[in-house]
Amino acid sequence: MSGLFITIEGPDGAGKTSVLDELYPRLQLTAKRAIVKTREPGGIPIAEKIRHVILDPGNDQMDDRTEALLYAAARRQHLVEKVWPALEADQIVLCDRFTDSSLAYQGAGRKIGIEEVAKLNEFAVEGTVPDVTLYLDIDSDTGLQRIMKNRTNQIDRLDSEGLQFHQRVRHAYLKLVDANPNRIIKIDARKRLDEVVRDCFYELLTRYPNYFQS
């Protein structure tokens, strides 16, 4: 499968969505082929419906393994309908979250176990791994402060978890960074938005000159 699969990861409050919204048009101006911007869970109608179920604060009785299974189901359908066709067409896919999120949030945050969640997702993705992952790193205290300040009317089930949950998530992400140095690029998300976008943009242009022109 050709194409370029880029994912953006990070704990809550790291500013992934804001960075993606700023990064995408900049990449469009320099890309040598079409770019598909998408997100997980979501990106297609079925996965968006699953997203609503997962993040609905009213579903506070959801079992942790049910949550992990729903993420994997949404991911599978998203790959089948959107990601794989784009990559097969030699396009660039820019995705907000992928399997690393499940390993960090359900594997570590929910204490299901990273290996267990990895096995579940392997069934869903059939070996699909991003070519590069931009990990936006921020400490849990600062991340939660940002959430409470900027998303007070949009708090979902994961946002409302306590500090220890978010600390476990970040620790798992940092372990993934250490274990995948050739794929995952750590970006300091404590900086101003324009600086974070600049750092992400530079990393992609430097690493993939065949896909982006400087």
* CA gap 73, 71 in Å, rounded: 5
* CA gap 110, 48 in Å, rounded: 22
* CA gap 31, 190 in Å, rounded: 27
Amino acid at 18: S
Per DSSP, the three-state class of 205 is helix
Amino acid at 94: L
| Residue 4: closest CA among 133, 105, 90, 112 | 90
Is 86 assigned to a binding site? no
Helix pair 64-78, 114-125: axis angle to 10 deg: 30
Query: What are the contacts of 194-202 at 24+ separation with CB within 8 A?
Result: 194/22, 196/15, 196/19, 196/136, 197/19, 197/22, 197/23, 197/26, 200/8, 200/19, 200/23, 200/134, 201/23, 201/26, 201/27
Is 137 assigned to a binding site? no
Is 37 assigned to a binding site? no
Is 128 assigned to a binding site? no
Per DSSP, the three-state class of 96 is strand
Tokens of 2: 């050709």
Is 113 assigned to a binding site? no
Is 11 assigned to a binding site? yes
Residue stretches of the annotated binding site: 10-17
Residue stretches of the annotated binding site for ATP: 10-17
